[in-house]
Amino acid sequence: MNAIFEDVPYYPLVFVVFWGAVVVFGLAMARHLRVFAATRAAGPSPFEDVRARFAGLIQYAFVQTKMFKDPRAAILHLGIFWGFILLTIGTANVVTGGLVQQVLSAPFGGVLWAAILAMQNVVAVTVIAFILWAFERRLISRPARLTYNLDALLILGMIGTLVAAEFFAQAFEIARYGAQPGAFITSAIAQPLGGIGGLSRAGLETGFAILWWLHMLIVAAFLVYLPGSKHLHIATSFFNIYFRKLKPRGELPAMDLEAEDATFGLRTLADLGWNDLLDGFTCTECGRCQQACPAWNTGKPLNPKQFIMGIRDMSVEAEHGLPLIPNSPSAASFGLTDVINQAAMLSPIVDNAIPYDAVWDCVTCGACVEACPVLIEHVDKIVGLRRNLVLEDSRFPTELNGAFRNMEGVGNPWGQPPTTRTDWTKGLAFEIPLVADVAARGELGSLDVLYWVGCAAAFDERNRKVARAFATCLDAAGINFAILGQEESCTGDPARRMGNDYVFQMLASGNIETLNRYRMGERTIVTACPHCFNSIGNEYGQLGGNFRVIHHAAFLRELLANGRLRVVDADAGANGAGGTGRSVTLHDSCYLTRYNGIVDQPREVLGSIAGLELREMDNRGKNTFCCGAGGGRMWMEETRGTRINEARTSQALATGASTVATECPFCMTMLKDGLEAAQSGTGGTVKAIDIAELLAESLAPTQPGSRALPVLQ
Amino acid sequence: MPLRIVVLTKPVPDPAAAAERLGADGRLDRAASPAVINGNDEYTLEASLKLVEAHGGEVTLLSMAPPSGLETMRKGLAMGAHRGVLVTDPALAGSDQGSTIQVLAAALRGLEYDLVLAGFDTSDGVGGVVGAAIASLLKLPYLSSAAKIEPDPDAGTVRVRRISPTGFDLLEAPMPALIVGTQLLGEPRYPSLKGIMAARSKEVVTKSLADLELDAKVVGGAASRSKVTGTTKPPARGATTVVRGTPEEGAKAIADLLASRRLI
């Protein structure tokens, strides 16, 4: 026993109280892990991509970059987080019998330890202030995204009392037993405490003893309480961030459809991976996902936060009845068994952690994933649930029956005859060759790009005009391109997002075979559809198809940057289209921004158009708000709540822009409908126009290699 | 008492593909278009699956088709039918409805069943007589235009709600009986992946004309009494007239239009 804590009455009890609490904490965590171990799906390996995983740990756990989407909350949280860590030095000193102090007092004649005490003084005051601020948020300003329960208040109360007790105990200690170099704030408080008119020696001793032990008991209580609290994230978030999904966010988990006796998709807790349960135990109920979710924002039953909380609740239910100490004889006498609650483990997730309707409300826009500061993955799980409902139970909104049959039967969700796939090219001033013809002439090598048209641009009346505009741009730039024509089919993206991986794999395998037949692995594929782009680029690899694919936003930007496309000058005005002073707001596609990080390219395309004024919406870039068509919602009726496309339309109209620029055929359809509905009878003339159309009508009339003046519509 | 149901299913060109084409011989070019189960047959198949789910029993699919019909039949087996019988024979190419009826009736004679279900008509031939003709050949009670099918296996009877211009007729007949269904029977189900996988190993019995003890001189393409003598495309639809204005103006414009065509 050393002399450092000689003033603390019954100091040795610390070892029993603290280390006892540590054991209880460890056993409770081990009980969580027993449920983790009972899950079937393989989780991520800790030894792969170690560098990226540690880099993420620094970025997301220690700097907490994701928190800064809400800067006030970020400062509040970062203050408490770092304060708590620095104050832990003091706690570590207490529970090691002063070991930390002994070591840190040695160098520089004790200056280091004095500096730590000074810093801890500052930090303690900060943390107490921030805790009061946090109480204010929970009790007075009450942001809607938070979950209000006793748990959160209890935790805040514990942290606040803990820090305050430690802080004031030090003041009493200094007043009674003498100066501690460095502790300048507590020393200042100690002055009046022990000075004239202050407390007696006995009073100071009692005050110190009570405060010191209060602080220590709260530390112990905190450890015992934590494993059952939402605040457990202080332990789990590091792991959740380390084990985060490192694959492209747009790549849904691969699926073996030939697996014998497998459960397809996710049905029960047991079908999840341990990392999914870790998601549940990491959720702090902050509600950033809920705040960002377009379904929740339009009054639908889907709440991503409650889904993740529901997973945790199911997981806790599964360990119900497990004793803290495994195989303990005394537990048996209380009727506890060492068996995981199989009923909870095997009860379905749907209608337990998430309502059936909510599973279908998801637009897979990824706003929740983007918003989550601790990198919880919601979308993959929701699609997993859909997979099970579709592949095992054939249980899905009836409208999907047609979409599935159409994709399976004629290779496009619209159910249009494949023979009409090239109808959009009719009347263009130039010929678009079919890849098959190019190959027959042996000229595949001279092809710059393959234009993957996509079903929407091939069959939907409005989007055919986008295809014509984009082809016009390609032609004007002198790009040697071709299309697959009837050999192209749906990439399978809608089927996959609706949970029908059988149809996805069927369509994807067919497309991969076609693309490989024309050796497209050696060429570049360009598409104006973010969903085709994501599927071909991020998902076809799972089925052995590796292609370089570029979205038209990025490709057009490239053509402008290297001078192959030129737009009319504002002053020239001869063409007249370019310099009309059009004001435009850009609606970002989820599958471009959040899923594939394409944010600046479309803006650069718009920026190249003379006289165009960009008026941004609040929800833009990676914080974009879905049009409502993702995740196969394009083919479902929107019966619950208000319409997502109308919510997004009003955001766009609020900018006062005369044009809503789009970069995705589904967004185009949804915003076109939204604008028509919002402006019906008002005489409003705001229209949705694709960036390729805006560019095509601004192209300079004399283009090198162009065979015709650009035409639009 | 479990039910034994035979459902007549015909592979037809997928109407969604719109690639239906006749060859030079006036026969359907089956290579031009992917085949699917005739839409109306899917409704009777759905009804039969629901019946055996409720009463127990087995659903057998019966088709007369080229060998490729086996693949189409797998889709019905994936929906949940238990087994299939495919009558296929090169001599059957070009069969008319008369031949089809003879062949299917002969195949049914070799099967045990309580109910035979047929779709309202087929989307390729659009004849709509096969069900009725088989019933009369086999002397089975014929219950047509069924919106609802309620068998009582213990009593050995079946009740059918037949749609009529004024509502429903309630028909009852002893089993075995032949029922022609309508789409009111309910949306056909979408096969689950387990169903698709299970269908791969389900039994499909293939029968030739010889197996059915039928003579190619009596049935099949050579014996068909109806022939396609020529085809013409339907005329393209005329331009659409859109009437705009107040309801009163609209009503007047429509009335004038109809009057000008002497329709009212």
Assess if residue B252 is contained within a domain. Answer: no
Instruction: Express each pLDDT in A354-412 by its tens digit.
Output: 999 999 999 999 999 999 999 999 999 999 999 999 999 999 999 999 999 999 999 99
The pLDDT value given to residue A575: 44
In a domain, B257, yes or no: no
pLDDT band of A702, cuts 50, 70, 90: low
Q: Which of B16, B191, B194 sits opposite A409 (nearest CB)?
A: B16
Q: What is the pLDDT of residue A33?
A: 94
Q: In the structure, what pLDDT confidence band is assigned to residue A90 with cuts at 50, 70 and 90?
A: confident
Residues of A whose CB is below 8 A from B72: none
Residue A251 CA, chain-centre distance (Å), reads 13
Question: What is the nearest CA distance from B42 to chain A, expressed in angstroms?
Answer: 13
Measured at the CA of A414, the angle between CA A413 and CA A419, to 5 degrees, comes to 105
pLDDT averaged over every residue in chain B: 92
pLDDT of B135 strictly over 50: yes
pLDDT tens digits for range A427-469: 999 999 999 999 999 999 999 999 999 999 999 999 999 999 9
Which two three-digit tokens encode residue A51?
């560098």
Spell out which residues of chain B touch residue A406, defining contact as CB-CB under 8 Å: 16
| Nearest Cβ partner for B16 among A392, A393, A410 | A410
Which pLDDT does position A708 carry in this prediction? 45
Give the strand pairing for B3-8 and B57-64. Answer: parallel
Looking at every residue in chain A, the average pLDDT score rounds to 91
- Chain A CB contacts of B191 under 8 Å are 394
Among A65-74, A287-296, A589-598, A651-660, which is the least confidently predicted range? A65-74
Within-domain flag for B260: no
What's the token pair of residue A497? 């997002």
- pLDDT digit string, tens, across residues A610-629: 889 999 999 999 999 999 99
Give strand pairing partners of A573: none
pLDDT band at A707 (very low <50, low <70, confident <90, very high): very low
* 3-state class (DSSP) for residue A225: helix
Q: Tell which of B14, B36, B193, B194 to mutate to test the A interface (max A CBs under 10 Å).
A: B193
The answer for residues whose C-beta is within 8 angstroms of residue A677's C-beta and 6 or more apart is: A646, A649
Q: Give percent of chain A with pLDDT exceeding 70.
A: 96
Interstrand relation of B57-64 and B142-152 (parallel, antiparallel or unpaired): unpaired
Å between A392 CA and nearest CA of chain B: 5
3-state secondary structure of A516: helix
pLDDT band at A2 (very low <50, low <70, confident <90, very high): very low
Nearest residue on chain A to B187, judged by CA atoms?
A398
Residues of B in Cβ contact (< 8 Å) with A490: none
Q: Can you give the pLDDT at residue A321? A: 82
Assign A34 a pLDDT band (cuts: 50, 70, 90): very high
CATH assignment at residue B69: 3.40.50.620
pLDDT band of residue A242 (cuts 50, 70, 90) is very high
What residue in A sits closest to B192 (Cα-Cα)?
A: A391
The sign of the dihedral angle between the CA atoms of B221, B223, B225, B227 is positive
Tell me the pLDDT band of A570, cut-offs 50, 70 and 90.
low
- Report d(CA A130, CA A87) in Å as an integer: 14
- B169 in a structural domain: yes
* pLDDT at site B19: 79
- Per-residue pLDDT at A506: 97
Give one DSSP letter per residue of A155-223, joined into a string: HHHHHHHHHHHHHHHHHHHHHHH---TT-HHHHHHHHHHHSTTS--HHHHHHHHHHHHHHHHHHHHHHH
Residue B261 lies in a domain: no
Q: How far does A588 lie from chain B, in Å, by closest CA?
A: 33
Contacts 24+ apart (CB under 8 A), A580-583: A580/A611, A581/A611, A581/A613, A582/A609, A582/A611, A582/A612, A582/A613, A582/A658, A582/A659, A582/A694, A583/A612, A583/A613, A583/A614, A583/A615, A583/A655, A583/A656, A583/A657, A583/A658, A583/A659
Q: Report the residue of chain A nearest B191, measured CA to CA.
A: A394
CB within 8 Å: B193 and A392: yes
Q: Which of B17, B187, B190 sits opposite A409 (nearest CB)?
A: B17
**By a Cβ cutoff of 8 Å, what residues of chain B touch chain A?**
14, 16-19, 34, 36, 187, 189-196
Residue identified by tokens 């999914």 is A276
Whether residue A417 and residue B19 make contact (CB cut-off 8 A), yes or no, is yes
Contact between chains at B34 and A417 (C-beta distance less than 8 A): no
A198 pLDDT more than 90: no
User: Which residue does chain B place closest to A390, by CA atoms?
Assistant: B192
Chain A residues with CB inside 8 Å of B189's CB?
394
- Locate tokens 């748990």: which residue? A151
User: Chain A residues contacting B, CB < 8 Å?
Assistant: 257, 264, 390-394, 396, 398, 400-401, 404-406, 409-410, 415-420, 502
For A304-333, write each residue's pLDDT tens digit: 999 999 999 999 999 988 888 877 777 777
Contact residues, chain B, for A393 at CB < 8 Å:
192
Answer whether the bond into residue A107 is a cis peptide, omega within 30°. Answer: no
> For residue A177, what are its two tokens?
């037993």
Instruction: With a threshold of 0.85, tell me whether the complex ipTM lies above it.
Output: no
- List the one residue out of A427, A497, A494, A416 whose CA is nearest residue A458: A416
pTM: 0.90
Residue A713 pLDDT > 50, yes or no?
no
Q: What is the mean pLDDT of residues A145-159?
A: 90
* pLDDT at residue number A711: 45
Q: Which residue of A has its CA nearest to B35?
A: A409
Which residue has tokens 């479309």?
A602
- What distance in Å separates residue B223's CA from the closest CA in chain A? 34
Inter-chain CB proximity A394 and B16 less than 8 Å: no
Mark residue A186 as left, alpha or beta (left: phi above 0; alpha: psi -120 to 50; beta: remaining).
alpha
Answer whether A299's CB lies under 8 Å from A641's CB.
yes
Contacts of A400 in chain B (CB under 8 A): 190
> A502 vs B193: CB contact, 8 Å cut-off?
yes
Judge whether B140 lies within some domain.
Answer: yes
pLDDT at A527 over 90: yes
Q: Which residue has the higher pLDDT, A603 or A323?
A: A603
Q: Identify the structural domains of chain A with CATH numbers, from first to last.
A: 3-242 (1.20.950), 269-315+341-391 (1.10.1060.10), 401-712 (no CATH)
Q: Is residue B132 part of a domain?
A: yes
Has residue B25 got a pLDDT over 50? yes
What confidence tier does B23 reach under pLDDT thresholds 50, 70, 90? Answer: confident
Whether residue B19 and residue A264 make contact (CB cut-off 8 A), yes or no, is no
A479 vs A91, higher pLDDT: A479
Q: How confident is the model at residue B183 (pLDDT cuts 50, 70, 90)?
A: very high
- Report yes or no: A436 and A503 within 8 Å, Cβ to Cβ: no
**Domain encompassing residue B56:** 3-223
CB–CB contacts below 8 A, A to B: 49
Number of domains in chain B: 1
B188–chain A nearest CA distance, Å: 9
Can you give the pLDDT at residue A676?
93
pLDDT of residue A6: 80
**pLDDT for the residue A110:** 84
Portion of chain A with pLDDT greater than 90, in percent: 76
Min mean pLDDT across A401-415, A429-443, B52-66, B227-241 is at B227-241
Position B237 in a domain: no
Could you tell me which chain A residue has the CA closest to the CA of B34? A409
Nearest CA distance, A507 vs chain B (angstrom) = 15
Q: How confident is the model at residue A571 (pLDDT cuts 50, 70, 90)?
A: low
- Using the beta-carbon criterion (under 8 Å), do B189 and A418 form an inter-chain contact? no
